[in-house]
Amino acid sequence: MEITFILNGKEICMDIDPNMTLLNYLREELFLTGTKEGCGIGECGACTVIVDGIAVNSCLVFVAQVNGAEIITIEHLEHDGQLDRLQQSFIDNHAVQCGFCTPGMLMSSKALLLKNPNPSQEEIKIALSGNLCRCTGYQNIIAAVEGAIEE
């Protein structure tokens, strides 16, 4: 099956296995390994990417479903060696520990900020509710999103 979509600002037109998940396609076919596989059942958020402006668990989406869509992965946040303000705020606020959940946290946060550039703390918590972290306790992650808003 041939599909076309926009990935990180570039048009992709490829033959795909329609039974492959978007997560596996990104990692195994396009070698974009920033998107992590955690649970594989949509519970942890480690595989979060942005599809048409919405944070989605890429382990739950078949690649065939993104035909015509615009997809943003963690690899697209940095431009020309310059970190996205959200990435820098995660560093500044010590919101990264083991780092496994970080790409998903960043992508859920980015989707929120694209939709609402000035969210409340409650809106941040709701946006991150699908992302699990076993290291940080979430306080620094929420502070990092708030820090990116203030910039």
pLDDT in tens, 41-95: 999 999 999 999 999 999 999 999 999 999 999 999 999 999 999 999 999 999 9
Which of helix, strand or coil describes residue 56? strand
Contact by Cβ (8 Å): 64, 3? yes
Give the residues across from 5 on adjacent strands. 12
Question: CA nearest 59: which of 77, 36, 75?
Answer: 36
In angstroms, rounded to a whole number, what is the distance separating the alpha carbons of residues 103 and 58?
A: 12
pLDDT in tens, 4-47: 999 999 999 999 998 999 999 999 999 999 999 999 999 999 99
Instruction: Classify burial at 122, counting beta carbons within 10 Å of its beta carbon; exposed 0-12, middle 13-18, buried 19 or more.
Output: exposed
Mean pLDDT of 93-108: 93
What confidence category does residue 107 fall into, taking pLDDT thresholds of 50, 70 and 90?
A: very high
Domain 2-76 superfamily per CATH = Beta-grasp domain (3.10.20.30)
Report pLDDT for 135. Answer: 85
Tell me the domain boundaries of the chain.
2-76, 85-150
Q: Which CATH architecture has domain 85-150?
A: Orthogonal Bundle (1.10)
What confidence category does residue 151 fall into, taking pLDDT thresholds of 50, 70 and 90?
A: low
Which of helix, strand or coil describes residue 54? strand
What confidence category does residue 150 fall into, taking pLDDT thresholds of 50, 70 and 90?
A: confident
More confident residue, 134 or 139: 139
What confidence category does residue 97 fall into, taking pLDDT thresholds of 50, 70 and 90?
A: confident
